[in-house]
Amino acid sequence: MESMQEPILNHLAVPGPTARGGQPRQMAFWDWSSRDGESGRVVVCVHGLSRQGRDFDVLARALSERARVIAVDVAGRGHSDWLDDPMGYQVPTYAADLAALLMHLRAENAAVVIDWVGTSMGGLIGMALAARAELAPRRLVLNDVGPAIQWEALLRIGTYLGANPSFDSEAAAIHYLASISAGFGPHTPEQWRALSLPLLRERDGRWWLHYDPAIALPVKALVGMSDQAQARQVARDGEALLWTLYDAITSPTLLLRGGQSDLLSAATAREMTQRGPKARCVVFDGVGHAPTLVSDDQVAAVRDFLWSDGVAASEK
């Protein structure tokens, strides 16, 4: 019986903010080679705010039939270095890091064709890069995120992000992660375990989350502002910028939405189908924020979009 395919962990030196202690910084990524030997097609997968690259294991195994898949650990998460200045944990830093990765891939092969799959924060990073013609992917998948992010979702995320809990058993840690991830929708115990284990690290007999707790500071600085009217205005200014980026995108775009998402509203999703790249929208009922791209229907939606070469940007 053929063993289950596993990725190789690689690192790339990236510019910009330094690592903890002022050292040069490395970004980690999981590299799934194409099973058909095709090296000219790459799918870059980027995770959500508190997650890491192994979230994409199921999708990567499916896509690696025809493409090399790169699943990134964004700065401060998984095996990537932590930042010296936690206020650097924001989209401009992440976009610069991922731009370095795209340029690295194109330096390896000038003819490479790159697609992008971004969940939540990974989608925002993808929007920032797709708005730049020299970095734009051939195709863009935005998983439950858009230019307008619901304020209530930010408040919810702020209640647990960076809490830095520890647990006396692996099972207790997995139970905790499931409890804060109800929006992911129904999963089997095996699926929860597979999604949770890469988020954990064991130290001195206890289990901790595998990210820098300081990734929460920029979010908490926003939602914790004493003047909530000012905080909402800052959020609206950010939204206006994101719409400008979105409207500049020309890559064919697929928008995935959890039917019960509290982060991407139905109204925003609808507007995204009518402006900019006029995304095609697929909604998954019984799921909130965000689809994990583990179930067969979610994997098929991404795979079919990426492999159907004739789809136009304006298809609905």
Strands 113-119, 139-143: parallel, antiparallel or unpaired by DSSP?
parallel
How far CA 55 is from CA of 5, 49, 61, 117, in Å, comes to: 15, 12, 12, 12
Residue 313 has a pLDDT of 37
Residue 89 has a pLDDT of 97
Where are the domains positioned within the chain?
8-307
* Average pLDDT value for residue range 46-55: 97
pLDDT tens digits, 61-97 = 999 999 999 999 999 999 999 999 999 999 999 999 9
Please name which of 223, 144, 235, 127 lies closest in space to residue 183, comparing C-alpha atoms: 144
Neighbours of 37 (CB within 10 A): 7
* Average pLDDT value for residue range 24-36: 93
Phi-psi region of 310 (alpha: psi -120 to 50; beta: other; left: phi over 0): alpha
Share of the chain above pLDDT 70, in %: 96
Residue with tokens 């924060």: 121
Burial class of residue 127, CB neighbours in 10 A (0-12, 13-18, 19+): buried
- pLDDT category at 3 given cuts 50, 70, 90 is low
255 touches 146 (CB < 8 A): yes
Phi, psi at residue 227, to the nearest 5°? -95, 95
pLDDT tens digits, 225-240 = 878 888 888 888 889 9
pLDDT tens digits, 114-166 = 999 999 999 999 999 999 999 999 999 999 999 999 988 988 998 889 889 99
Single pTM value for the model? 0.94
Residue 38 has a pLDDT of 67
Element (H, E) at 228: helix 228-247
DSSP assignment of 68-119 equals EEEEEE-TTBTTSPPBSSGGG-SHHHHHHHHHHHHHHHHHH-TT-EEEEEEE
Element (H, E) at 1: none
Q: Could you tell me the two tokens for 206?
A: 């206890």
- Report the range of poorest mean pLDDT among 32-46, 106-120, 157-171, 192-206: 32-46
* Average pLDDT value for residue range 209-226: 90
Please name which of 174, 175, 182, 157 lies closest in space to residue 286, comparing C-alpha atoms: 182
* Average pLDDT value for residue range 2-18: 88
98 touches 121 (CB < 8 A): no
Query: CATH homologous superfamily of domain 8-307?
Result: Alpha/Beta hydrolase fold, catalytic domain (3.40.50.1820)
- The one-letter amino acid at 63: L
Q: Which residues face 117 on adjacent strands?
A: 45, 141
pLDDT tens digits, 259-314 = 999 999 999 999 999 999 999 999 999 999 999 999 999 999 999 999 987 443 33
Would you call 40 helix, strand, or coil by DSSP?
coil
Given strand 280-284, what is the order of strands in its sheet? 8-19, 23-32, 68-73, 41-46, 113-119, 139-143, 253-258, 280-284
Please name which of 234, 225, 235, 276 lies closest in space to residue 255, comparing C-alpha atoms: 276
- pLDDT category at 316 given cuts 50, 70, 90 is very low
